[in-house]
Amino acid sequence: MAPVTGSEVALFAFTACNTLRVVAYVPQLLKIARDNGGASAISYTTWGLFGASHLSTVAYAVAVVQDWKLGLIFTANALACGAIVGLTLCKRLRFAARRRGAQPDDLGPNTLVPMGGELTSWRHVGINLTGGSAVNRTALRSESRRATRC
């Protein structure tokens, strides 16, 4: 058996760490999902830059070194960063709506807002664009907490 070279060790460490990193995003996503304060500790800039960095690595992997496995790993990393940014946005919008009291006149057309703090209750707010007043308020019930939760 040939001795293991330094570059092989480096490649193995790089591949292992970046594969495991995809799983390491899960605790961050769970923290954001459980946060009731608008996920204020999450930085769009940081996570957006992480995502952009991962996408540039995908481009390099595919276009320069033709390494599709590396490209796939970093695509998963970029998607995880996108999920963190998206979930943070969702949590911040819901937090802002709760702080405002989610008044129908403050919301855009066809906006779903939480009612009574319950995760399973929603009201539909339709805005009459010609008169500017809220119309067509119908209660909508979600069938699962997961469907309505950010």
For the chain, domains (ranges, CATH) are 1-100 (1.20.1280), 102-150 (no CATH)
Beta bridge partners of 126: 135
Q: Answer whether 0.75 is exceeded by the pTM.
A: no
Q: Is-contact 124 7, C-beta < 8 A?
A: no
How far apart (Å, rounded) are the C-alpha atoms in residues 39 and 94? Answer: 10
| pLDDT, tens digit, 9 for 90 and up, residues 81-131 | 999 999 999 999 999 988 888 654 454 544 554 444 444 344 444 433 344
Helices 6-34/68-100 angle, 10° precision: 20
Local structure of 111: helix, strand or coil: strand
Average pLDDT over residues 8-19: 90
